[in-house]
Structure 1
Amino acid sequence: MNRKRWLTYGMLTLATSTWGSAFIAGKVAVESFEPATVAFLRFLGAAILLFPLMAVMEKNRIKPNRKDYGLFAVLGLTGIALYNICFFLATKHAPVIKSSLFIAANPVLIVLLSGLFLKEKISGNHIAGMIIALTGVAFIITNGHLLDLFKIGFQPIDLVLMGAVVSWALYSVVGKVVLNKFSSVESTTYAVIFGTIFLLPFAAAETSWQDIQQASVSAWLSIAHMSVFVTVISFVMYYNGIKEVGAAKASIFINVMPVSAVIMATLFLGETFTWAHAIGAAFVLSGVYVGTNPRLFKTKMPRIKRESA
């Protein structure tokens, strides 16, 4: 495996590990603001940082046409506005076990959509890697009690969580199309700008000036963290990863997120790191290795073909 590929995998690991901190930062932020407002403030800060960054890094960038702006709008609507409204609602109202399980299902849907619409090859190592990683995620979020997954009944919040999964999967797949023409910095910047615009009316409707004045310092620091590290740096790295290895393979690294969330909860929230967490983390890392190493499974599965109308 060449050095560039290892660098890409390292960036994807760092990006998805950083996303794990969003669970903790989000819990702090929603104590002062409503979910849509947290999302709006997060991406407003990111947009302020990304636009000058794009101007410096992409001086010879291509001017988007009407179709390009339409795709950027789809990215902003799915991966920025809808996903984050659903995510912060789940952070506030759903059990961590349930929300983590739903988010962990993202790679499966991304792989299927990538095969269906992008004609990416779904190989044996992709499938095996996802199964192994999801097993690890299940260990982590249930603390080793896998049967707990079957004890959680259906609730209205499940529709919100499903919305988050579908939104992020669409964001990843459409993002691959956009990356054929634009860089990861450009794609992220335009998506964040459109997403911030979509979030503005929701934030304006649920937040008053008094809420902003009374917000805690911890809430503002959490939003700043999500703007700079979870959004600007991590989104650019994730999109660069999609461009280099494809949406299907990049999605496997999303399973690293619950591992980092548990580790950060142990370090910053005083939660206990158990044997189940250690086993789960080992499964996740093994799944990522298997999913990104095609030599382990040389027989490739056929591409998913769209049926003609």
Structure 2
Amino acid sequence: MNATTSRGALLAALACVLVGGSFTANSVLGAYPYAGGQFLRYGLACVLLFPLAGRGALPRLKALTSRQWVRLALLAAVGMVGFNLAVLAAERTAEPAVPGVFVGCAPVVVAVLVPLLDGRRPQRTVIHGALLVAVGACVVQGWGRTDGAGLAFSVCALAGEVGFAVLAVPVLRPLGPRLLSAVVCAIAALESAAAGLLADGTGWLRRPDAVEAGALLWQAVVVTVVGFVCWYMGMQRIGAERATLFSGLIPVAAACTAPLVGTGSYGIAQGVGSALVGLGVALGSGAPKPPVRPSAPLGDRHAEQPRQPPFEGTAARGGVESAAE
């Protein structure tokens, strides 16, 4: 594993640890309007991210095709707004572990789907590692009570988690991690506002209290700004298949932090599951990265772009979840 691969793995791991650790922040937002919370989270993140996108941001945005804009809108709707909504809807009739188990299967789906969409065969090593990660995530979380609606929304949450990685692949090269994160946050904020107005009318947004404001600020600054950029930086370096392996760290981080706030415990099952996740990540991330296709014009789904300067702001994005080399 060379320096670029190692750094990509660390960035992806950091993003997923931040997401897992942010579940405690989600627990205090149960009474806050969903759409309004998403609007504030992504809106603030967008404001913070755009100044970090660099001087060439506007020309890169103007060069995007209508098809790429549609993909960005789907990425925000499916992988961000839709994912969070599906998890909340699933937990109305299912215990939190149920959607968590489904989301834990995302590495397996991505390990198969991304190579097929790219016109190549899935790597056996990555698939084997993804299976271990999925099993480990299930062991960490266990299973819970549910009904048909809970299962259906859990499947939707899985689709959202997969979409967050798969839909980003063709637009990551032309935009880079920082600008991609800024754009999808802007779109997600607009989509959240539209959904709130349609579903809740004038009550879709209210002033948060001190605790809610702190949780929203954590989600916007740490989970979204830092986590999103870290995630896409890692994905850019090691590929979507291997980066998604690290999503198994989300339930591990949640299990480790839950005892700190008295919302859970860390026992033998969590220890065994964490070990399986670690083994799967080590196995799958050791597979060689697929070769990059030759350069193509902007607008082609595999277009190569000039290398971007490193992002310097990651030292300063939870249900997680960051710059081009």
TM range (shorter): 0.7 to 0.9
For residue 101 of structure 1, give the secondary structure of its aligned residue in structure 2: helix
Structure 2 vs 1, CA of residues 111 and 98 (structure 1 numbering), >3 Å: closer, same or farther? same
- 1:223 is matched with which residue? 216
For 1:239 and 1:40, the matched residues in 2 are separated by: 21
- 1:206 is matched with which residue? 200
Contact 2:115-2:121 at 8 Å conserved across structures = yes
- 1:7 is matched with which residue? 7
Contact 1:13-1:256 at 8 Å conserved across structures = yes
Structure 2 vs 1, CA of residues 231 and 219 (structure 1 numbering), >3 Å: closer, same or farther? same
TM superposition shift of 1:238: 0.9
Contact 1:27-1:92 at 8 Å conserved across structures = no
Residue 188 (str. 1) matches residue 187 (str. 2): no
Q: Higher helix proportion, which one?
A: 1
Residue 250 (str. 1) matches residue 249 (str. 2): no
Q: What amino acid maps onto 2:24 in structure 1? A: I
1:276 to 246, 269, 272: 269
Q: What amino acid maps onto 2:113 in structure 1? A: L
What fraction of aligned residue pairs are identical, expressed as a percent?
A: 22
For 1:94 and 1:136, the matched residues in 2 are separated by: 20
Structure 2 vs 1, CA of residues 192 and 237 (structure 1 numbering), >3 Å: closer, same or farther? same
- 2:82 is matched with which residue? 82
- 1:266 is matched with which residue? 259
- 1:94 is matched with which residue? 94
Structure 2 vs 1, CA of residues 171 and 107 (structure 1 numbering), >3 Å: closer, same or farther? same
For 2:43 and 2:153, the matched residues in 1 are separated by: 23
TM superposition shift of 1:207: 6.7
Residue 54 (str. 1) matches residue 47 (str. 2): no
Number of residue-to-residue matches in the alignment: 286
- 2:280 is matched with which residue? 287
Normalised TM-score (structure 2): 0.80
Contact 1:118-1:173 at 8 Å conserved across structures = no
Q: What amino acid maps onto 1:199 in structure 2? A: S
Contact 2:110-2:240 at 8 Å conserved across structures = yes
- The 5 A counterparts of 1:109-120 are 109-120=109-120
Q: What amino acid maps onto 1:2 in structure 2? A: N
Normalised TM-score (structure 1): 0.84
Contact 1:39-1:199 at 8 Å conserved across structures = yes
- 1:19 is matched with which residue? 19
For 1:2 and 1:154, the matched residues in 2 are separated by: 46
- Deviation per CA, 1:235-268, whole angstroms, max 9, x where unpaired? 1111112222211111111101000001111122
Unaligned runs of 5+ in 1: 143-148, 296-309
The Cα RMSD (Å) is 2.3
Structure 2 vs 1, CA of residues 211 and 239 (structure 1 numbering), >3 Å: closer, same or farther? closer
TM superposition shift of 1:91: 4.9
TM superposition shift of 1:272: 2.2
- 2:28 is matched with which residue? 28
Structure 2 vs 1, CA of residues 249 and 211 (structure 1 numbering), >3 Å: closer, same or farther? closer
Contact 2:36-2:206 at 8 Å conserved across structures = no
For 1:278 and 1:108, the matched residues in 2 are separated by: 22
- 2:71 is matched with which residue? 71
For 2:11 and 2:246, the matched residues in 1 are separated by: 10
- 1:146 is matched with which residue? none
TM superposition shift of 1:181: 1.5
For 1:171 and 1:274, the matched residues in 2 are separated by: 31
TM superposition shift of 1:88: 3.2
